[in-house]
Homo-oligomer: A and B are copies of this chain.
Amino acid sequence: MPIVSVTTSSASLAELTGRDRILQEAAELFLTKGYGDTSLRDIASAVGIQPASIYHHFSSKEVLFTEILRIGIEHTTEAFDRTNADLNADAPPGIALLAHVEAHLTALFDHGPYTAANIVVFPVAPDAVKAAVVPIRDAYEQRWDTLLRELATSGQLDPDLDVRMARRIVLGSINSTIEWFNPTDSQKDAQSVTDLAKVMTDLVWKGIGA
């Protein structure tokens, strides 16, 4: 159960309550223009309120940004845990990997700017924001380490790779799709996130060679 309920994916933009609308619009702007080039005036204007009103919900711009990143990780972590719960205990490792890649990519493309901001904007975030977010990121990455360790101990992973490096490669590779994949306009090879998950799982599992 999440500590804070997030209504971003269920409700349409106009229906969102004040705080959530600020988060949504801010996340979109941060993702598009970056943190430093997005002013509180920009955000307020997008929401349709005055800049000062933001401070009723968030004590500073950094706190607002931190909360956006936190929500994104929360979505992703919950998707991982849900997938684990759904997986049959003796599912073959290939299936488990595919399921988690799909869960990760779905979280990435379904919760719009919250999850994407963790990939695109986090690397250049202010130090205070990074420091606040790193622990929650770590908790998510450890879930992947556990998953990949199981693959390694059952001899399914390239023995030359250690688990941490494998995780970085896998997550880095699937995260990089954020730069070009758009689930709304259908593409030749991957029309849906499910298609994309299949393609990317094939990449990390078998490579792109024929």
Copies of this chain: 2
Q: Is A44 an interface residue (CB 8 A)?
A: no
Residues on B with C-beta less than 8 A from A189 are 160-162, 165
Residues on B with C-beta less than 8 A from A202 are 158, 207
Contact of A159 among B177, B200, B210 (CB under 8 A): B210
Cα-based distance from A175 to B170 in the complex (angstroms): 13
A180 touches B172 (CB 8 A): yes
Interface size of A by CB at 8 A reads: 49
Cα-based distance from A166 to B33 in the complex (angstroms): 28
Cα-based distance from A35 to B36 in the complex (angstroms): 7
Indicate with 1 or 0, residue by residue over A39-77, a CB within 8 angstroms of chain B CB atoms: 000000000000000000000000000000000000000
B161 touches A208 (CB 8 A): yes
Residues on B with C-beta less than 8 A from A31 are 124
Interface residues of A in 142-191 (CB under 8 A from B): 155-162, 165-166, 168-170, 172-173, 175-177, 179-180, 187-190
